[in-house]
Amino acid sequence: MKVSEHYDRATEPLISFEIIPPRRGGGIKTIFESLDQIVEKVSPPFIDVTYHAAESHVEEQPDGTLKRVVRRKRPGTIGLCAAILHRYNIDPVPHLICEGFTKEESEDALIELNYLGIHNVLAVRGDNTGTQVPMHTNGTANKYAIDLVKQIQNMNSGEYLEELVNAEPSDFCVGVAGYPEKHFEAPNLDWDIQRLKEKVDAGADYVVTQMFFDNDVYFKFVEKCRANGIDVPIVPGLKILRTINHLKTLPRHFHLNIPDELTEEVDANPGRVEEIGVKWAQKQSLELMEHGAPGIHYYIMGNPKSALDVIDYIQNK
């Protein structure tokens, strides 16, 4: 089922999750162990799986020379999505990114997903970390998420990169990212919302937000989106604070603000960080649901424990 259909049919807020594939050489067993816990407790309608471009770095060789090495540290998104679909009968949502991939590679991935019966994708630009492999594409790369959304919608209309006779259309539901505190490259929030509106007008079916720790920024973001004609579901994304290091790494990597109240409590009780983070997310989750959020999307990556503690709490309220 499409994510948009899940939201259309929902009679209460939906709970969904986002996970990350194991590193190259890692096994899928730990992923299944996490998913087993999730399915037993929640049975989510869909699960997102992140996608990763190849990266380049330099390694010193035994003879002392330096060699440039290119590899994807976390391959396997499509295979993991197929496993989720067929092992759990849960709709997987693979992420597709512009950064590091050509349009041809994106089309190939979409064809594979279509053959596997996977009909949901999240289209994102992907941030340039400076380690991605430069592409010599002669203009064949999607520069922004809106370009990828348009490519997917063209395939939904039976239009591929090359003209094909009797080409069958795909049938993808497309999600995109939204930034309640604006994308770090945007000059201001209003400008950023206009870019989001363009993605929705191009065919995006729903929006999942970047993580945030202050619900007011989500409520104001949704209000501004509605005022600008964005009428698709806007799903809040939450990350649970689990380590004291998150106070520095999350703002640095995701360009978000952590409220003073939360940082002060963690600073005063550094040995209880995860407990404090869970209680904060419990409060956030309840308030979001009470104010009409269509669901909550938890960024758990590889560890579901904190999120399940939050869900235990809100399910018993």
Decide if 18 is catalytic.
yes
In terms of C-beta density within 10 A (0-12 exposed, 13-18 middle, 19 or more buried), how is residue 241 classed?
Answer: buried
Where residue 89 falls (left for φ over 0; alpha for ψ -120 to 50; beta otherwise) is left
Determine which helix (DSSP H) or strand (DSSP E) holds 120, and give its type and residue range: strand 120-124
Measured distance CA(21)–CA(311) in Å, rounded: 23
Find how far residue 119's CA is from the centre of its chain.
Answer: 16
Measured distance CA(197)–CA(178) in Å, rounded: 10
Determine which helix (DSSP H) or strand (DSSP E) holds 181, and give its type and residue range: none
The active-site residue, picked from 18, 99, 107, 181, is: 18
Q: Which residues contact 104 (CB under 8 A, 6 or more apart)?
A: 140, 161
Measured distance CA(215)–CA(134) in Å, rounded: 38
- The tokens for 157 are 């209309």
Number of neighbours of residue 60 by Cβ within 10 angstroms: 9
Q: Which residues partner with 176 through β-bridges?
A: 123, 207
Residues known to be catalytic: 18
